[in-house]
A and B are shown apart, each in its own frame.
Chain A
Amino acid sequence: MFEIVSKRELAPNIVEMKVYAPRVASSALPGQFVIVRTDRTGERIPLTICDYDTDKGTVTIVTQAVGHSSRKIIDMAEGDTFADFAGPLGCPSDLLDLPEEELKKKRILFVAGGVGTAPVYPQVKWLKEHGVDADVVIGAKTKDLFTYVDEMKTVGNVYLCTDDGSEGFHGMVTGLMKDLIDNRGKEYDHCVIIGPMIMMKFAALTTKEYGIPTVVSLNALMVDGTGMCGACRVTVDGQTRFTCVEGPEFDGHKVDFDEAMRRQNMYRDHKKTHPETHNCKCNG
């Protein structure tokens, strides 16, 4: 079925996998995601598509272990199969809709943080293939946590920053964005931000100061990923939207990030009780 044809560790607890899923590979576009399930007892977990190869029939995903289910994913080995690998889901990036002429004129900035770097890659790659050189700001806590930098350098102009100054600009992505614009004469008319919710919130506030139209890719909680449950709802411009069908990309200046962060942590305070620890039915 959905076999893991290759696996490599990009950084501690961050793993890249190429998965054989020919139907998904042949329809995938930058900006979309898949829903995977490790096994019969697994959760349905959404993961952004990081690359796809129509000829080989593979789709690349990058997973960071943050809880039980993501740990289960990164613990899978080459040759193992996912019980389910459904997609591509969500809307492709808006950039894909622009007429070639207009696209070529765009000065685009990508801002990536944490595991957000890998999902930025297919968009930058797609732009490169369409004759657009984009700038890419990648931030990490420290230099050992960078992922996908080499790949990114082959398709875009990469600028790095670390919180501890161990590589590149010393500071957060917002600092580097300001530096590029204020001190290095960069001008942008479109920005795409992908990363942890808190980073997207502040990076979007920064682009708002400069009046740069901004798109963020939201990693909301999901169950089905097909528009059936509303678990993924977010407020954008005062309206409730379903991330899985209307997103995952939304106007970064209109997303209610505080609500989105609160909803994303809904089950953090009410963890699934695993049999070894607890077995009442109350989920307390």
Chain B
Amino acid sequence: MANRIPRVPVREQDPQVRATNFEEVCYGYNSEEATLEASRCLNCKNPRCVSSCPVHINIPEFIRHIAEGDLKSAAATIAADSSLPSVCGRVCPQESQCEGSCVLGIKSESVAIGKLERFVGDWAIANSGDLPKPEIISNGKKVAIVGSGPAGLACASDLARLGYEVKIFEALHEVGGVLVYGIPEFRLPKERIVAKEVDAVRRLGVEIETDVIVGRTMTIDDLLDNQGYDAVFIGSGAGLPRFMGIDGENLNGVFSANEFLTRANLMHAYDDSFDTPIYTGKKVVVVGGGNVAMDAVRTACRLGADSVIVYRRSEAELPARVEEVHHAKQEGIEFKMLTNPVRILGDEKGWVRGIECVEMELGEPDESGRRSPVKKEGSNFEIDCDVVIMALGTSPNPLIKSTTKGLETNRRGCIVADEDGRTSRKGVFAGGDAVTGAATVILAMGAGRKAAKAIDEYLNNQVCES
């Protein structure tokens, strides 16, 4: 029986070596490995993996194509539902989505769906020349997209395929949103993967203008009223970092994870030929337990610092991808669980010299279903360190809301939009982290695609009305 084969292990860079470089950790499957792993799939009639995939990729079908050696069809199957397979194969939390529900996982190990998706995505990038170029007939209508993260890119490609003239406006100097400024090179290569995915969007005729801060350089109303756009999609993400509000947070040496990662990734501060500085000192404490915290701590480790995670719940509650936690441990990151900072300690010059924490224990489950941590009185202790990085989550930037009349947001600052991305403003759609708050690449991509459909419907109906 095919499913007797154990899950094919994936080759990775040696932990000790990779802890000192920024090259990708995981090498991915080669063709033999992928074919063998694909043969494990049972091709279930009612595939549980598909219903757990946020965009319902036809997983058994693309895996069957791999097993048959037909990668072109595998790529086409995925493309029907996802425009970023190379990215999602690398960064999706598969263990709580497709792989988490794979029937094989009940008795042994699930199919390595993520690694197979990545294999197909990378194959498609390498062979993009051979893929049929879609024939696009212009329909003469213009759509503006705010932000070039996964939501904006996905919305743009779908609209371009439908014949719209699409232009993306991006505030930063690079295209890709969190994929370029947040997620590090060692997890998601920028030149080899992200830039290629962006090229594919450009090849569909989508124009991308960087250095445009919508709300400042121009407003949404400007785009609609004066620049001839028929609709706007907002995919501006959730970039505003949160701090704890404890003593010492403005000391020199305290950074948001966004700042630390932006310096390292967007500004290439780890590379000495770039001008932007980054500071780690000898020991770094990262506060938080999500992907952002893992990325920050592993970046600090690669820059040569002793690096520690401080998280207020226990390991079982870490929201990061399991693979990242595993990799971080292999790389020598220390995990201090059930620990919460009380204040940050400074020296006489105003630089961080340590962090005072308190031990926690798990109490009753809160509204998220996770057991909420409670302080153990009198358990305070200090950790010496030179840098503290706060990775506590982010919320949407208020700029667009404050400069767009009649655009409704909720109390967390997220843009209010329905399932298909329609906002309170006619002709204005939104999706991704800007609507949900910080979430995942796959959800953002899915939201961008749904909105593209809704925009198409909206603009078609408009023609009928007039």
Cα–Cα, bound, A131→B239 (Å):
41
C-alpha gap A273/B274 in the complex (Å): 10
Find chain A residues with CB under 8 A from B268 CB: 41
Specify which of A24, A282, A283 lies most central, judged by the most chain B CB atoms within 10 Å of its CB.
A283
Given contacts A89-B213, A263-B250, contact A68 B259 (CB under 8 A): no
B212-A275 in contact (CB<8A): no
Residues of the B chain whose Cβ atoms lie less than 8 Å from the Cβ of A273: 272
Within 8 A of A (CB), among B137-196: 171-173, 181
Residues of A within 8 A of B272 (CB): 272-275, 279
Bound-state CA distance A272–B181 (Å) is 20
Does B5 sit within 8 A of A, measured CB to CB? no
Chain B residues with Cβ under 8 A from A266's Cβ? 252-253, 279
The digit string for B302-330, where 1 denotes a CB below 8 A from any CB of A, is: 11100000000000000000000000000
B83 at the interface (CB under 8 A from A): no
Interface residues of B in 259-299 (CB under 8 A from A): 259, 262-263, 266-270, 272-280
B303 and A281 within 8 A (CB): yes
Q: A272 — which chain B residues lie within 8 A by C-beta?
A: 269, 272, 275-277
- Tell me if A87 and B217 are in contact (CB < 8 A): yes
In the complex, the chain B residue whose C-beta lies closest to that of A278 is B272
Interface presence of A259 (CB below 8 A): yes
A133 contacts partner chain B, Cβ-Cβ < 8 Å? no
In the complex, whether B241 has a CB less than 8 A from a CB of chain A is yes
Q: Which residues of A contact B276 (CB under 8 A)?
A: 43-44, 223, 272
**How many Å lie between the Cα of A72 and that of B274 in the bound state?**
13
Q: In residues 192-226 of chain B, which contact A (Cβ within 8 Å)?
A: 210-213, 216-218
Contacts of A267 in B (CB 8 A): 277, 279
Interface residues of B in 399-428 (CB under 8 A from A): 399
Query: Which residue of chain B has its CB nearest to the CB of A34?
Result: B211
Q: Are A42 and B280 in contact (CB under 8 A)?
A: no
Interface: B110 (CB within 8 A):
no
Please count the residue pairs between chain A and chain B whose beta carbons lie under 8 angstroms apart in the complex.
Answer: 130
A223 with B263: in contact, given A88-B217, A89-B216 (CB under 8 Å)?
A: yes
Q: Does B44 contact A (CB under 8 A)?
A: no
Complex CA–CA separation, A273 to B255 (angstroms): 20
B218 x A231 contact (CB < 8 A): no
Contacts of A281 in B (CB 8 A): 20, 270, 302-304
Given A86-B212, A229-B258, A233-B250, A41–B303 Cβ distance below 8 Å?
no
**Within 8 Å CB of B456, what residues of A?**
none
Contact A84-B267, Cβ < 8 Å, known A263-B250, A266-B279, A282-B303: no
By a CB distance below 8 angstroms, the chain B residues around A69 are 275
Contact call A283/B240, Cβ cutoff below 8 A: no
Determine whether the beta carbon of A230 is less than 8 Å from that of B241: yes
B181 — which chain A residues lie within 8 A by C-beta? 224, 228
Give the distance in Å from the alpha carbon of A230 to the alpha carbon of B304 in the complex. Answer: 24
Q: Say yes or no: B239 contacts A227, CB within 8 Å.
A: yes
A115 to chain B, nearest CB (A): 20
Residues B172 and A224 in contact, CB atoms below 8 Å apart? yes
Query: Smallest CB-CB separation from A275: which chain B residue?
Result: B272
A83 lies within 8 A of chain B by Cβ:
yes
A228 to B173, Cβ gap below 8 A? no
Q: Does B350 contact A (CB under 8 A)?
A: yes
The reply to whether the CB of B380 lies closer than 8 angstroms to some CB of chain A is: no
Q: Does B249 contact A (CB under 8 A)?
A: yes
Q: Is the CB of A223 within 8 A of B262?
A: yes
Shortest Cβ gap from B147 to chain A (Å): 11
**Contact, CB under 8 Å: B252 / A84:** no
CB-nearest residue of chain A to B209:
A23
Give the one of A229, A240, A267, A274 with max B CB within 10 A: A229
Interface string of A245-284 (1 = CB under 8 A from B): 1000000000000010011001100111111000111110
Shortest distance between the CB of B259 and any CB in chain A (Å): 4
Contact with B along A36-74 (1 / 0, CB 8 A): 010001111000000000000000000000001100100
Contacts of A87 in B (CB 8 A): 213, 216-217
Query: Judging by beta carbons under 8 Å apart, are A223 and B259 in contact?
Result: yes
Identify which of A42, A85, A230 gathers the most chain B CB atoms within 10 Å of its CB: A230
Query: Is B262's CB under 8 angstroms from A224's CB?
Result: yes
Complex CA gap A231/B211 in Å reads 19
Binary contact readout B118-136 vs A (1 if CB under 8 angstroms, 0 otherwise):
0000000000000000000
Residue B256 at the chain A interface, CB threshold 8 Å:
yes
Give the residue of A72, A229, A262, A275 whose beta carbon is less than 8 angstroms from that of B350: A262
How does the 8 Å CB contact mask read for B235-247 relative to A, with 1 for contact and 0 for none? 0000111010000
The interface residues of chain A lying within 8 Å CB-to-CB of B269 are: 272
Q: Are A229 and B213 in contact (CB under 8 A)?
A: no
B267 to chain A, nearest CB (A): 7
Distance of A111 from chain B, by nearest CB (Å): 26
Contact between A24 and B270, CB atoms less than 8 A apart: no
The answer to whether B240 and A23 have CB atoms under 8 Å apart is: no
Identify which of B256, B267, B304, B350 contacts A282 (C-beta below 8 A): B304
User: What are 19 contact pairs spanning A and B, CB under 8 A?
Assistant: A27-B218, A42-B275, A44-B173, A84-B211, A86-B210, A87-B216, A88-B217, A223-B276, A224-B171, A224-B262, A228-B181, A245-B399, A259-B250, A262-B349, A263-B250, A266-B253, A271-B277, A273-B272, A281-B302
Other than A88-B217, A262-B350, A283-B277, give 19 A-B pairs with Cβ distance below 8 A.
A23-B212, A32-B216, A41-B268, A41-B273, A42-B275, A43-B267, A84-B210, A87-B216, A224-B172, A224-B262, A227-B398, A227-B399, A228-B239, A228-B258, A259-B350, A273-B272, A281-B20, A283-B278, A283-B279
